[in-house]
């Protein structure tokens, strides 16, 4: 198989280097047709902040070296001298298929199991198809890649559990409360992580949002963004009694909330559980408050414990993911090998013969005993005649330019039309 892939990623290059090789959509639209003209019969290109990777089927009868492609890409981006060929890694055939699958499965991501990238891969394939750079192999590769993403998500826990502070806070909230739409949250102070946490809570459908900040304008901007209400910074304790989740990210030398206030707050709220996420450094809530019944107080360190645990669990899922990747790579190769002409001719003949035998068996009782042999002969003749033309065309392709584009496409079409051979499971269910 002459599938080739070359790319630069967070494994091989720093962000300064990677950003030089990042391709915008317009650039991708420009480079793909050129790559197709010069080196590949079909190709696609994924470019995100963590990687730029090129996948292509090398034009039959030609060769291309890693060096040529690297130089072409660096030249296109005019990224010399910051980007050097040693920043790239290349793989061929099975390794290339395995690589795109790893990307889709999140085992190649910077944060293990982060498969946000699956969408970007999907878009990259879509774009390549739009500019006419894909063909049967790339299309199939896309189906298989998306299928890998889907399987990994449903069959393993590689993407489960929060691995960022803000998500970890939301995960904890949903371990304490059952219906967030009936709960409300208060954000005290404005920091990036605090806002992000609130954003995730809003994404989870939190019932109400209140914001308190020393500078009221800032609070008003945030309140507008999250359709929340602004509350007075000086009467925080009163507001805390009325909400269920508190996020604090204030910079300051003193505690914003302490055990005394919280004791009062808990009495006021009839001891209903209160979840406090303290993202401030130094901490905003006196750790002594942790002892109060039904108060769940988490600071950055304890949230990091959640994250570490989730990452460990994701790591433990790697063997399962690897098994899926092997299976899917094998499936892809089964399909690819079936694209050879000879097995296709045989499969086609078998498929027709199967139908013929079935129908003859079903109807044989309707014929007189002496006619039955004749029925067999006549039906065989019909099948042979029907198959004659497609067979001839397929064979002609095989003799002159086996492996070339048109033959591949033709074989692929025949297999699709007559439903021959193994298909990627679930590939057609909207993946």
Partner 1 sequence: MISNLLVDLFQTGLPFLYAVLVVSYGISFIGGARLLDAWKTRVLVAVIAMHLVYLGARTVSFDHPPITSVFEIMTILAAGIAIAYLYIEVKTGERNTGVFILFLALVFQLVSSLFIRDLVRIPDYLHSRVLGFHVSTALLGYTGISLSAVYGLLYLMLYHDIRSSRFGIVYSRLPNLERLEEMSHRAEVFGFVMLGIAIVIGLIWLPSVFTDFSYLDPKLVATIVIWILYAVGLWAKRQFGWKGRKTMILTLVAFGIVFFSMTVVNIYLSGFHRFH
Residues that bind partner 1 (CB under 8 A): 155, 157, 161, 172, 174-179, 270-273, 290, 293-294, 296, 298, 302, 305-306, 309, 313
Q: Which CA distances in Å does 57 have to 44, 64, 163, 430?
A: 10, 11, 37, 25
Cβ proximity to partner 1, 59 vs 277, nearer residue = 277
Look up residue 22 and give its DSSP letter: -
What are the percentages of helix, strand and coil residues in the chain, rounded to 5?
Answer: 60, 15, 30
Handedness of CA 314, 318, 319, 321 (dihedral sign): positive
Q: How far is the CB of 324 from partner 1 (least distance, A)?
A: 13
Q: How far is the CB of 360 from partner 1 (least distance, A)?
A: 41
- Taking Cα atoms as reference points, which of 72, 68, 74, 36 lies closest to residue 55? 36
Cβ proximity to partner 1, 214 vs 313, nearer residue = 313
Helices within 214-299 (DSSP H only): 216-225, 236-242, 259-268
Cα separation, 88 vs 7, in Å, equals: 5
Active site residue 49: yes
Q: Of the listed 43, 49, 91, 159, which one is catalytic?
A: 49
Q: How far is the CB of 150 from partner 1 (least distance, A)?
A: 15
Q: How far is the CB of 187 from partner 1 (least distance, A)?
A: 22
Cα separation, 158 vs 161, in Å, equals: 9
Q: How far is the CB of 296 from partner 1 (least distance, A)?
A: 6
Q: Which CA distances in Å does 135 have to 54, 142, 153, 232, 337?
A: 15, 11, 27, 61, 16
Cβ proximity to partner 1, 22 vs 296, nearer residue = 296
Catalytic amino acids? 49
């Amino acid at each position: 198989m002459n599938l080739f892939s070359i790319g630069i990623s967070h494994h091989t290059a720093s962000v300064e280097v990677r950003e030089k090789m990042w391709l915008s959509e317009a650039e991708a639209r420009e480079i793909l047709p050129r790559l197709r003209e010069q080196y590949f019969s079909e190709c696609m290109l994924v470019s995100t902040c963590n990687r730029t990777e090129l996948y292509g089927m090398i034009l039959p009868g030609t060769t291309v070296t890693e060096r040529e492609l690297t130089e072409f890409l660096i030249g296109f981006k005019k990224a010399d001298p910051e980007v050097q060929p040693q920043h790239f890694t290349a793989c061929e055939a099975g390794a290339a298929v395995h690589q795109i699958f790893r990307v889709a499965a999140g085992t190649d991501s910077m944060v293990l199991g982060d498969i946000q990238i699956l969408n970007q891969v999907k878009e990259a394939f879509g774009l390549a198809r739009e500019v006419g750079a894909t063909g049967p192999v790339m299309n199939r590769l896309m189906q298989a890649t998306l299928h890998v993403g889907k399987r990994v998500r449903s069959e393993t826990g590689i993407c489960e559990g929060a691995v960022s502070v803000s998500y970890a806070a939301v995960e904890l909230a949903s371990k304490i409360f059952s219906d967030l739409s009936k709960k409300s949250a208060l954000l005290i102070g404005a920091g990036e992580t605090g806002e992000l946490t609130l954003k995730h809570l809003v994404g989870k459908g939190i019932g109400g949002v209140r914001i308190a900040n020393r500078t009221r304008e800032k609070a008003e901007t945030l309140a507008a963004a999250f359709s929340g209400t602004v509350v007075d910074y000086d009467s925080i304790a009163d507001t805390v009694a009325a909400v269920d989740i508190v996020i604090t990210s204030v910079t300051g030398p003193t505690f914003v909330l302490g055990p005394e206030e919280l004791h009062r707050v808990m009495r006021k709220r009839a001891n209903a559980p209160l979840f406090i996420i303290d993202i401030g450094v130094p901490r905003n809530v006196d750790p002594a408050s942790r002892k109060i019944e039904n108060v769940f107080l988490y600071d950055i360190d304890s949230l990091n414990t959640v994250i570490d645990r989730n990452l460990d669990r994701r790591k433990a899922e790697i063997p399962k993911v690897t098994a899926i990747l092997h299976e899917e790579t094998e499936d892809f190769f089964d399909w690819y090998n079936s694209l050879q002409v000879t097995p296709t001719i045989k499969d086609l003949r078998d498929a027709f013969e199967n139908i013929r035998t079935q129908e003859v068996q079903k109807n044989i009782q309707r014929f007189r005993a002496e006619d039955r042999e004749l029925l067999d002969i006549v039906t065989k003749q019909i099948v042979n005649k029907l198959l004659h033309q497609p067979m001839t065309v397929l064979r002609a392709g095989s003799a002159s330019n086996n492996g070339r584009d048109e033959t591949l496409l033709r074989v692929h079409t025949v297999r699709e039309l007559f439903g021959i051979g193994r298909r990627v499971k679930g590939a057609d269910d909207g993946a």
